[in-house]
Amino acid sequence: METSEMLKSFGLSDKAVELGEKYEKELEKRFEEIDKTAEYNQLKVIKAMQENRLSDIHFAATTGYGYNDIGRETLEKVYASIFHTEDALVRPQITCGTHALTIALAANLRPGDELLSPVGKPYDTLEGVIGIKEQKGSLKEFGISYSQVDLLPDGGFDLNGIKKAINEKTKMVTIQRSKGYQTRPTLSVERIGELISFIRSVKPEVIIMVDNCYGEFVEKIEPSDVGADLCVGSLIKNPGGGLVASGGYIVGKEEYIENCAFRLTAPGLGKEVGATLGINQSMFQGLFLAPTVVASALKGAIFAAKIFEDLGYPCIPNGTEPRYDIIQAVTLGSAEKLIAFCGGIQAASPVDSFVVPEGWAMPGYNSDVIMAAGNFIQGSSIELSADGPITEPYAVYFQGGLTWYHAKLGILTALDRVLKTEK
Ligand SMILES: *Cc1c(COP(=O)(O)O)cnc(C)c1O
């Protein structure tokens, strides 16, 4: 059977399959560039594993306190090598990206300090963490204040505003690399580097943290290569390569990582404790696969942008601009189309393909959110997934794909469902 026939056996229309063939051809050159970055990052990961003498013994399980877990210690060294940082905290006990970011902030800020975001509003779930939105246990409740400088209308940094916002209380700066659920552009590592240099010229001793979620391995360099003191992310996104069942990472300066470890476990215990219960092997193997998995996700994102843009749906980023994260926003313009798109992604999944996604009031979010994912790992958004708040402008945020072929099937199925609503 031809592959096109096989695609049609999933119920895809001739039109969807034809559009798929057309755009896949058009994107050959872009895909080649993505593969080149993936190769570079693959080598970076292998080198880090070799330099830290990764061995079979590191895959053994520890229990209880988890003292002397050499697998865990080696994993953290490998992360530090990849990100070129002094130290790393990579743990299954970090429950998600929000938790990792919370640890990094709460560990390094003290009452009376101020946190600054020079790139506008942070990710939704951080509003409660910081206290932008009233929330028990927020940083605000502990006497930590927050200030924010929005990006300029053209997406540039408001350098004057940032300079004015930095004061004697400013202890930490948080920079979000990815757009998250916003329609602003994602920041390239180079631009993050420029922003960091500027901030350092105003206040050299400030601690600069980058929320690196969805950005890992998209470029050849990471924010820690351009001066970030801390980089933070989730292991059920890019660096877990789709294999890690749970966890988060924080890499950066030794002093700040120690603070994070004291906050995650307990002051004085820090990195010494934390049983890994046998998951080290998946942490290493997922990291090993991550560069190629990220490449698959990037191909899917660009493919989706190309197709939907040509059909008249605004896409951020658009089909031709460079990529700095794996998220693709497509503005679908109606709840019906948003739900149809998500239904298509779900129907093309290897797991739970028979489930119909619906919107729900997800904790931490301001409106109903619809999420589609037929995942091996619950909530993993490095796996093919689509989500979006069911509110104006009805944009779907689409990401992931452990393999390009699955991403392609998912996008074509979503496309077909959206096309049907147009009739
Ligand atoms: C996903 C994400 C987070 C939060 O991660 P969770 O694992 O969902 O808690 C924070 N910031 C950005 C930019 C993200 O994409």
Q: What is the pLDDT of residues 342-357, one digit of tens each?
A: 999 999 999 999 999 9
Q: Listing from the earlier edge strand, what are the strands of the sheet with 145-148?
A: 87-91, 248-252, 230-234, 207-211, 170-176, 114-117, 145-148
- Ligand 1 centroid, distance to 213 Cα (angstroms): 6
What average pLDDT does this structure show over 141-160?
97
Q: What is the pLDDT of residues 6-50, one digit of tens each?
A: 999 999 999 999 999 999 999 999 999 999 999 999 999 999 999
Atom of ligand 1 nearest to the CA of 236: 7
Residue 289's pLDDT band (boundaries 50, 70, 90)?
Answer: very high
Residue 364's pLDDT band (boundaries 50, 70, 90)?
Answer: low
127 CB near ligand 1 (under 6 Å): no
Residue 157, classed as helix, strand or coil, is coil
- Ligand 1 centroid, distance to 130 Cα (angstroms): 14
Whole-angstrom Cα distance, residue 368 to residue 358?
9
85 CB near ligand 1 (under 6 Å): no
First to last CA, the chain: 31
97 CB near ligand 1 (under 6 Å): yes
What average pLDDT does this structure show over 111-139?
96
- Ligand 1 centroid, distance to 110 Cα (angstroms): 23
Is it the case that residue 130 has pLDDT exceeding 80? yes
Q: Which two tokens stand for residue 390?
A: 């069911």
- Ligand 1 centroid, distance to 212 Cα (angstroms): 9
Q: Which two tokens stand for residue 54?
A: 């990764």
Whole-angstrom Cα distance, residue 377 to residue 290?
15
Residue nearest to atom 6 of ligand 1 (CA): 97
Residue 226's pLDDT band (boundaries 50, 70, 90)?
Answer: very high
Of the candidates 307, 394, 263, 327, the residue with the CA atom closest to the CA atom of residue 123: 327
Whole-angstrom Cα distance, residue 146 to residue 128?
12
178 CB near ligand 1 (under 6 Å): yes
Domains of the chain, CATH where assigned: 3-42+288-421 (3.90.1150.60), 60-278 (3.40.640.10)
Residue 177's pLDDT band (boundaries 50, 70, 90)?
Answer: very high
325 CB near ligand 1 (under 6 Å): no
Contact yes or no for 343/410 (Cβ under 8 A): no
Whole-angstrom Cα distance, residue 201 to residue 181?
31
- Ligand 1 centroid, distance to 287 Cα (angstroms): 18
- Ligand 1 centroid, distance to 50 Cα (angstroms): 30
What average pLDDT does this structure show over 275-294?
97
What average pLDDT does this structure show over 358-377?
87
Residue 110's pLDDT band (boundaries 50, 70, 90)?
Answer: very high
Residue nearest to atom 2 of ligand 1 (CA): 213
Whole-angstrom Cα distance, residue 309 to residue 332?
10
Contacts 24+ apart (CB under 8 A), 212-216: 212/177, 213/97, 213/123, 213/176, 213/177, 213/178, 213/180, 213/237, 214/177, 214/178, 214/238, 214/325, 214/326, 214/327, 214/381, 214/399, 215/177, 215/178, 215/186, 215/189, 215/324, 215/325, 216/290, 216/294
Residue nearest to atom 3 of ligand 1 (CA): 97
Mutate which of 119, 121, 234 to test ligand 1's pocket (most atoms within 8 Å of Cβ)?
234
Alpha carbon of 37 to those of 183, 214, 228, 291, 341: distances in Å?
25, 16, 22, 8, 29
User: Helix-strand-coil percent breakdown of the chain, rounded to 5?
Assistant: 45, 15, 40
125 CB near ligand 1 (under 6 Å): yes
Whole-angstrom Cα distance, residue 190 to residue 193?
5
Predicted TM-score (pTM) of this structure: 0.95
Mutate which of 121, 211, 326 to test ligand 1's pocket (most atoms within 8 Å of Cβ)?
211
What average pLDDT does this structure show over 145-162?
96
Residue 422's pLDDT band (boundaries 50, 70, 90)?
Answer: confident
What average pLDDT does this structure show over 240-249?
97
Of the candidates 131, 83, 141, the residue with the CA atom closest to the CA atom of residue 111: 141
324 CB near ligand 1 (under 6 Å): no
Whole-angstrom Cα distance, residue 317 to residue 324?
9
Is it the case that residue 87 has pLDDT exceeding 90? yes
Residue nearest to atom 5 of ligand 1 (CA): 97
212 CB near ligand 1 (under 6 Å): no
Q: Which amino acid is at 199?
A: I
- Ligand 1 centroid, distance to 6 Cα (angstroms): 36
Residue 181, classed as helix, strand or coil, is coil
Whole-angstrom Cα distance, residue 191 to residue 156?
10
3-state SS of 364-410? CCCCCEEEEECCCCCCCCCCCEEEEECCCCCEEEEECCCCHHHHHHH
Residue nearest to atom 14 of ligand 1 (CA): 213
What average pLDDT does this structure show over 227-251?
98
Residue nearest to atom 7 of ligand 1 (CA): 97
In this structure, how many other beta carbons lie within 10 angstroms of the beta carbon of residue 121? 17
Q: What percent of the chain has pLDDT over 70?
A: 100
pLDDT score for 179: 87
pLDDT score for 167: 98
